[in-house]
Structure 1
Amino acid sequence: MFGKLIRWPNLVFILLTQSLLQYCVLMPGFVQSDHHRPLSLPCFLLIVFSYVALAAAGYIINDYFDLQIDQVNKPERVFISLNGISKQQALVSYWALNLLAIAASIYVDIKTNARMAGISAAICAGLLYYYSLSLKKRLLLGNILVAAITAWSIMVLICLQGIQWPFFSDNFHLERMTQCTFLYTLFAFIISLVREIVKDMEDVPGDIQYGCYSMPIAWGIPAARVFAIGCLTVLLMMLLITGIHLGASLSWVFRLYCGVFILLPLLHISHQLLKADTTADFRRLSQQIKGVMLTGILSMVFFLF
């Protein structure tokens, strides 16, 4: 029950994203560029733990505040109840996870002299609380916040390791590494934003009943659908331009993988969004978007070769 409450598959996504970024994208770049400030394994594991714990706490507090809404939208996914996890147990777990996450990040600051991991974790915890309390009910702001925190879980690793985003540097390996990290950050932000909007379209019945002002409610589902498709179009164009720009530096296997497992599914999702109309349609699309998130994450493996 507790694993379902904290959405353990989504936590695996965070662990996988940060691990593959660190050891498939960043570490090879550090080695080739003679960069001497990579995180040690213990510090890296603490940062991963911190963001996994922050996300788990975020899911708990979101369910805590959305208990009535979820009983309308997703009654089968209500885990805080008399027959499951009590409200008191949920709150104790929430505070414990946040405190452990912030403590782990502060320890990394002490060991690395980074001076930003603890503040970053505390800000993320506060923003996720504010999102669950009220921001998610406001037009687009909550969607952008969740997408930004998702993207930050990628950026934080490069910021903690002394890289100042040298997009145009004399060091080819450092430049390529930072550009790739920024592209993955943009990918995470845009696709997370689209998924949040699709989930809002799925949750319209309960959101209307309890006064939420999400995009599908404020603008209508057709307008929200167009906005989501527009975001997907931007993402597709970004990926295509990147592929053309990098050209021969990308292996044909990597390009084939991205075409089959990222670009084509994104096109399919865009097409399905045009026709989606029921809660079941939007729930299915949300799962498909999560699948593209996974294939995007796994594409980092190719940077080892």
Structure 2
Amino acid sequence: MKTIVAFFRLARWSNLLFIVLTQWMFIYCIVAPIFQAANVQPHIHGQFIFLLILSYVLVGAGGYIINDYFDLNIDQINKPDKVVIDRYIGRRWAIVFHICFTVASILIGIYVDLQTHVHFLGFANLVNGIFLFVYSLSLKKKLLVGNVMIAFLLAWVIVAVTCCEADQFTLLLQHRLVNTQKLLRYTILYGGFAFIVNLIREAVKDMEDVEGDRKYGCRTMPIAWGINATKVFVAVWLVVLIAMLVLLQFYAIQFGWWFFSLYCILVVVVPLVIVFKKLFKAQTPKDYHAISSLIKIVMLTGILSMVFFKIYS
């Protein structure tokens, strides 16, 4: 039983649930209503929704496992009580799980490509798997590059859903059947939100893990720039994100979306303001971990806001 629990911890089951929730909410609350309004069936429907989400869960699990494989020495310093590899699961098994999950995600992507008109999912999952391996091997240790890459890959979870319908846009736009501009706006909105929030969280996690990262030669922001400069970097992105969300509320109020605005202010904007206030007071890994956890809650509340687009559609 301990081994099973450890395996799910290794695969970051809670983060995988975020992937499931994000793609499912985006498909059912945003993509589906837009296509239904035009009486057009999207490429990703029925069983293919499950397969799309499963492919991203598998490639994500493979990425988390290989990340812990290469970070074993660092994790033994930063979070010794959470180390799984070499304690519950051997190194060789970790590699086997990574390869099996990544290959399975690619094969599922190819199957979806062959059964629909998507044509890119198998290749996209291959690229994601390569990026996650390279990130874990070396890029996460480099200044800013790893942070940007992981933030982009997490935003891609949303963007990929829209890209699955991309070839439909060209055909349907000519007949003005599907409101493609609306779908693109929502894709940019939530993809941009996911990118910025994860970029912020990755920088905070770097400050939390600075001790182990420094010992093993990593060039993360806190090590290269210092803690104070990294806090300024995070603060700037927080201000940008908060400003964007506040401006969005003025747009939403014009359409009478009062409950959406109230929700966003109370459970997205206010927690981000709290993160901003806590940021400059933080000193210990425990402080940074608490901030990282609060940012994760903001990610969840941001994802759940998609339900309002289903209600107002």
TM range (shorter): over 0.9
Confirm or deny: 8 A CA contact 2:275 2:295 kept in the other structure.
Answer: yes
Partner of 2:136: 132
Q: Which residue of 1 aligns with 2:259?
A: 253
**Is the CA contact 1:30–1:38 (under 8 Å) kept in the aligned structure 2?**
no
- 1:49 is aligned to 54
Deviation at 1:39, TM superposition (A): 1.2
Written as runs of structure 1 = structure 2, the 5 A alignment for 1:25-104 is 25-81=30-86, 83-104=87-108
Match of 1:219 among 209, 215, 225: 225
What RMSD, in angstroms, separates the aligned Cα atoms of the two structures?
1.8
Correspondence 1:137-148 to 2 at 5 A: 137-148=141-152
Check conservation: 1:57, 1:98, Cα contact below 8 A. yes
- 8 Å Cα contact 1:27-1:38 kept in structure 2: no
Distance 1:53 1:206, change over 3 A: same
Q: Deviations over 1:5-32 (max 9, x none)?
A: 0010110000000000000111001111
> Is the Cα–Cα contact under 8 Å of residues 253 and 261 in structure 2 kept in the other structure?
no
Q: Which residue of 2 aligns with 1:23?
A: 28
Q: CA deviation at 1:33?
A: 2.8
C-alpha distance in structure 1 between counterparts of 2:256 and 2:237, whole Å: 25
1:1-305 map, 5 Å: 1-81=6-86, 83-162=87-166, 164=169, 173-305=179-311
- Please state how far the C-alpha of 1:164 moved relative to its aligned partner: 4.8
**1:250–1:127: structure 2 CA closer, same or farther, 3 Å change rule?**
farther
Amino acid in the other structure paired with 1:287: S
Displacement after TM superposition at 1:161 (Å): 1.5
Shift of 1:219: 0.2
**Distance (whole Å) between structure 2 residues aligned to residue 170 and residue 252 of structure 1:** 30
Give TM-score scaled by structure 2 length.
0.93
Aligned residues: 303
Partners of 2:258 and 2:134 in 1: CA distance: 45
Task: Note if contact 1:136-1:143 (Cα within 8 Å) is conserved in structure 2.
Answer: yes
8 Å CA contact 1:64, 1:90 repeated in 2: yes
Percent of aligned pairs with the same residue? 43
Q: TM-score, normalised by structure 1?
A: 0.95
* Whole-angstrom CA distance in 2 between matches of 1:75 and 1:164: 50
In the alignment, residue 45 of structure 2 is paired with which amino acid? Answer: S
1:5–1:79 Cα contact (<8 Å) kept: yes
Distance in 1 of aligned mates of 2:255 and 2:21: 25
The unaligned stretches of length 5 or more in structure 2 are 1-5
**Alignment partner of 2:118: what SS?**
coil
Gaps of 5+ in 1: none
- Per-residue CA deviation, residues 71-108 of structure 1 (Å, 9 max, x unaligned), is 00010110001x31000111111100001100000111
Q: 1:48-91 CA distances to partner (integer Å, 9 max, x unpaired)?
A: 0011111111110000000000000010110001x310001111
Q: Which amino acid aligns with 2:9?
A: K
**Partner Cα distance (2:287, 2:256) in 1:** 36
